[in-house]
Amino acid sequence: MSSDEFVLTLVLQVEKTVLPGQTDALETAARAVLAILGDERSVGEGEWAVAMRDWQNAKIRKVVRRARGAEWRRAAALPGITVTGAAAVVRVFPPVPVDEVPKDLAKLQVAGTDLEEAEEPPAPTAGVPVLWVNPGLTMSTGKTMAQVGHGAHLAWFDLSDVARKAWCEAGFALAVRTATPARWKELLASGLPVVQDAGFTEIDPGSHTVIAEHPALRGRG
């Protein structure tokens, strides 16, 4: 990999005795991506601004890792933002060149992050942005976390400053749901932001993984 490629790392806390549900982890990861995008340190003259610009001007890569115990404590000591869900805890770190990922993050495992759902998640609340996952793909929890993070990122790109501020003030409320095949077909024709995966892991290059449906973006297509 080239040293001019940047990667943003998300770390999911996975302790032996407490495991979050799949949807909780996905929604928390997406909110973590939005949290760093909207943070004052990521814009203007902020301490992360140059890295964020370099990352977004290249391939917007995200990697999800997992940690527990001492590993999590070491990761949590590095600069970043921790976002909590119902039970999920995700820490997001500012992007760095792929060959400069801090050792306490680089040594964390990437593969094997698979969570279960205790029960079927309810229908999304009206008016809340939804990140719809492609029903035709099989992805691990970690892979899906990265994909919904991409979806949230694309929605953020397309929103006005006013809409971004409103989303921030709402605590980046959102839902992640798997679309029905019929709904997915409708969404693909809607003009909403669509994540097209680069194919580094798990799925074929060019696969459409997530569609971001934000109220402020509806009807644009």
Per-residue pLDDT tens digits for 83-104: 999 999 999 999 999 999 999 9
3-state DSSP assignment of residue 135: coil
pLDDT in tens, 165-183: 999 999 999 999 999 999 9
Query: Rounded to 10 degrees, what is the CA torsion of 91, 130, 198, 35?
Result: -30
% of the chain surpassing 70 pLDDT: 95
Task: Please name which of 16, 135, 129 lies closest in space to residue 67, comparing C-alpha atoms.
Answer: 16
Give me the pLDDT at residue 42, please.
98
Give me the pLDDT at residue 221, please.
46
Give me the pLDDT at residue 2, please.
42
Give me the pLDDT at residue 88, please.
96
* Percent of the chain as helix, strand, coil, to the nearest 5: 35, 20, 45
pLDDT in tens, 18-75: 889 999 999 999 999 999 999 999 999 999 999 999 999 888 899 999 999 999 999 9
Using CA atoms, how far apart are residues 155 and 158, in angstroms rounded to an integer?
5
**Residue 110: how many CB atoms within 10 A of its CB?**
16
Tokens of residue 60, six digits:
């917007």
Task: Please name which of 158, 176, 162, 166 lies closest in space to residue 221, comparing C-alpha atoms.
Answer: 158
Query: What strands lie across the sheet with 194-196, from one edge to the other?
Result: 175-178, 130-133, 208-213, 194-196
Supply the DSSP symbol for 130: E
Which positions ≥6 away from 132 have C-beta within 8 Å? 177, 178, 179, 183, 184, 187, 210, 211, 212, 213
Whole-model pTM?
A: 0.94
3-state DSSP assignment of residue 61: strand
Tokens of residue 71, six digits:
């590993």
